[in-house]
Amino acid sequence: MNDALMKEYEKTFMDKVAVIHAAFDETPHTVAMVEIDKKLTDEEKCEVAFMKTNTIDGAWWENEEVTPMFPEKSCRSTSSGDFVLIGNANYKCVAAGWEKV
């Protein structure tokens, strides 16, 4: 697919959400932008962003849908206490699911 067509596809069918690490850090900071299907609910988008920013079989920042936003060579996985920003809605990862803040 050519670049222009791909960009149009992304605008039409995909959302970009920010993953913000705050749980173990002094200052919250964005570590990734994740492309996610627009049709999903916000909670489903949070779950996908969480899954895509966790190291399971390989480094999470190597996932195709992820744009890493951290300056170091590596970054911890997303965990409870971190956030996902979807548009203007901010969701905190809690022990069981997501809490809108």
Condensed to tens digits (0 to 9), the pLDDT of residues 22-80 reads: 999 889 999 999 999 999 999 999 999 999 999 989 999 999 999 999 999 999 999 99
Domain coverage including residue 76 = 14-100
pTM confidence score: 0.87
pLDDT of residue 11 exceeding 80, the answer is no
At 13 the pLDDT is 80
At 93 the pLDDT is 97
Tokens of 71: 């300056």
Establish if 1 belongs to a structural domain: no
pLDDT of residue 5 exceeding 60, the answer is no
Establish if 8 belongs to a structural domain: no
pLDDT band at 10 (very low <50, low <70, confident <90, very high): low
Establish if 56 belongs to a structural domain: yes
Tokens of 90: 């901010």
SS3 content of the chain, % helix, strand, coil (to 5): 25, 35, 40
Question: Looking at the 3D structure of the chain, how many domains does it have?
Answer: 1
Buried-state track 48-71, b at ≥16 Cβ within 10 A, e below 16:
bbbebbeeeeeebbebeebebeee
Count CB-CB contacts under 10 A for residue 84.
Answer: 27
